[in-house]
Amino acid sequence: MEFKEFLDTMSGQIRSQKARAVAVREMEDHIRDQADFYESQGMSGGDALKEAVRQMGDPVDVGVELDRIHRPDMEWRLFGWIVAFSGMGLVIQYLCFYCVNVAPGVNGQSQWILGDSTGSFVRQCVYTAVGLGIMAVICLLDYSVIGKYAEVLTICLFAAVVFVCTFDVVRKVNGAYGTLKSLMYLFVPLFGGICYRMRGKGYIGLGICCLWIGAVFFVGGSVIGGGFGVTIDVIAVCLLMVFGAAWRGWFHPDGKRGIRAVFGLGTALAVVAELFFKFGLSPYQIERLQVWLHPEDYADTGGYSIMTIRRIVASLAANGNCFEALEESGLQWFLYSEGNGGDFMILQTAVTLGFLKTVGILVLFGAFFFYLFRMAAREKNRLGRMMGFGCTLMLTVETVRNVLYNFGVGLGSTAGIPFLSFGKVHTLAVYVLLGVLLSIYRYRNLVWEEPVKAGDGGKVKIGGYVIRVEKRVKS
């Protein structure tokens, strides 16, 4: 069989266009290398090429095998986890807020959520269904596109936030647009792409990454204003991502020098943050920070929330609800009054179902996040691994902080907890991150490393071959 005929027949068996181009290039190089070897052993050029092609075997079988290896592979177990948690979250929300048989009298007090309790639950079901749909669409998309256009997508995200806040498209509460705080979640996978594109650019690339983190600080802290704790969480996750990238030599071949640079830039960011806290925060935000750190000193003012939470935790029953105990102590109003319902889903679950069942639910969350971290750790593509760790860290940090706050640790309110907290923006943002995670796994056999730029030497796997890329040295 002729060389070109072999390649055409083989490529015809591969359904993925992206995989087809890479497979043909790899096979062509491999055949030519083998032909060069035969020619060095004394064979003529034409005979050497024919023998190399013959050694490859049946092109149909080769193409079918490559098609089996290089094709989208859905992670159905993770998808099942997500659907199960989504259903569990809706059931828990119904029991905590909408089921009058479980909590007589409470349902009427909780109608502040969106007016009619039944309508509120239906709307949350719609948000969940839409979120699952968005997740499925993102899952079908190639996540490497996010890495390729990370800067452009980030600019679009920030521009949209600035536009919405500038023209008051959403309602302002306490002088801020706190309902938009969950949008900051979306920066995390984009930042993974930014870090990836800065590989091999040395300290300049590291500085650019930190400038993007500063942009998050501005958009979340000044433009949105409310929910500043979420912005801090996003910044913390991004700094961990930069730290990991520097440790692995993305910015400088010497990982230790990269780490020292991260600490230096981190110190500079801390100074900027200190100045912002001193001159950029409103008085009520400064008071909240003080309350988070020392709630006991503000028991009669802003610290009453944390102190009240601790009193409710002390009255929890091991099994079953503790509504009677809350009514006797006069604390029931706190969990179901306007402005509090969205922040305390874990505590409301413990009040409704009992402490032990709530602990069991949290154990399931822990297993879910462990599975996500393990999936990210096994990802061979560095872009996918960085984005996967970032998305998982973001969901984990927000969940841990929310749980701690629900049990009286003064770390301030968060955007909510995945699957359990209600609200349109938060629900959709969570499903976007989950869609990115599913896409990373689905395309793990179809996304290859981009060419490595100067300063990022080492071995890189492209398709089924490992090549060594040397640093470019100026003459």
pLDDT, tens only, 132-142: 999 999 998 88
Model pLDDT, residue 112: 39
Which position has the token pair 């927000």?
Answer: 398
Which has more confidence, 176 or 193? 193
Average pLDDT over residues 2-10: 82
Q: What is the mean pLDDT of residues 92-115?
A: 54
Q: What is the pLDDT of residue 156?
A: 95
Question: Quick check: 310 pLDDT over 70?
Answer: yes
Rounded to two decimals, the pTM is: 0.78
User: How much of the chain, in percent, has pLDDT values that exceed 70?
Assistant: 72
How far is CA 445 from each of CA 16, 129, 137, 468, rounded to the nearest angstrom? 11, 29, 19, 20
- Report pLDDT for 303: 54
Segment of 102-106, 193-197, 389-393 carrying the highest mean pLDDT: 389-393
d(CA 52, CA 127): 58
Contact 399/185 with Cβ under 8 angstroms? no
Contact 280, 222 (CB under 8 A): yes
The mean pLDDT value of the chain amounts to 78
Residue 430 has pLDDT above 90, yes or no: yes
Work out the pLDDT band at 223, boundaries 50, 70, 90: confident
Q: Cβ(415)–Cβ(181) under 8 Å?
A: yes
Which of the four pLDDT bands, split at 50, 70 and 90, describes residue 291?
low
DSSP state at residue 295: G
Cα angle 82-85-87, degrees, rounded to a multiple of 5: 110
User: What percent of the chain has a predicted confidence (pLDDT) above 90?
Assistant: 27
Confidence at residue 454, expressed as pLDDT on a 0 to 100 scale: 43
Banded model confidence at residue 276, pLDDT cuts 50, 70, 90: low
What local confidence, expressed as pLDDT, does residue 102 receive? 41
DSSP 304-355: HHHHHHHHHHHT--SSS--HHHHHHHT-HHHHHSTTTTTT-HHHHHHHHH-H
- Using a 10 angstrom Cβ sphere, with 0-12 exposed, 13-18 middle and 19 or more buried, the burial of residue 382 is buried
Q: How far apart are CA 224 and CA 163, in angstroms?
A: 11
